[in-house]
Structure 1
Amino acid sequence: MTLPEGLEPGSRIVVRYRIDGPLPLTDALGVLLSKDAESISVQTKRGVVVIRSSDIVAAKAVPAAARRRAQRA
């Protein structure tokens, strides 16, 4: 699958993609760093994830993360 139109580097996205292991799919949530015909790179909280285009099952833009509320005393 290819990325939907309009997803450009700097966009916040979620990508569901295939992996090896007992659970065959996982998600990456973060900022799209780069994309080309072979792969995409997503900056997540845990670091940069490189995903082959052929492993992408679904992808979409998501809104900015909500701000955390201050804790009550």
Structure 2
Amino acid sequence: MTSQTPESRLREAGTGRRAVVRYRIEDGLTDALGTITALDSAGCTIATRTGEVFIAWERVTAGKPVPDAPPRRRPRTGS
């Protein structure tokens, strides 16, 4: 079994795929969950619910494609 790097997993998934990326920030680690919108030699861009996040490859500690989000439930109505 070949061990893949987070970068190679994300590149293999390609743009348009949903992914989660764990990366280093000043105070520790955080995650970005969303759609891969760009991949280049400097890093990747993930479109999250709160906006696009660019993550440099040297800050990435883990990353992989994930299944599409489940459909949102309809709001409940009062009885």
Classify the TM-score, shorter chain.
Answer: 0.7 to 0.9
| Cross-structure match for 2:25 | 19
Where is the helix percentage greater, Structure 1 or Structure 2? 2
Structure 2 residues without counterparts, runs of 5 or longer = 1-5
Alignment-derived partner of residue 65 in structure 2: 61
Output the aligned Cα RMSD. 1.4
* Residues matched between the structures, number: 71
Name the CA distance, whole Å, in 1 between partners of 2:8 and 2:52: 18
Q: Is the 8 A contact 1:3 1:59 kept in 2?
A: no
> Aligned with 1:2: secondary structure?
helix
Structure 1's unaligned 5+ residue stretches are none
Question: CA–CA distance in 2 between the matches of 1:72 and 1:63?
Answer: 29
Q: By how many angstroms is 1:7 displaced?
A: 1.5
Q: TM-score, normalised by structure 2?
A: 0.80
Larger Rg: 2
Give the secondary structure class of the aligned counterpart of 1:6. Answer: helix
- Structure 1 length-normalised TM: 0.86
Following TM superposition, where does structure 1 have runs of at least 4 consecutive aligned residues deviating by more than 6 angstroms?
A: none
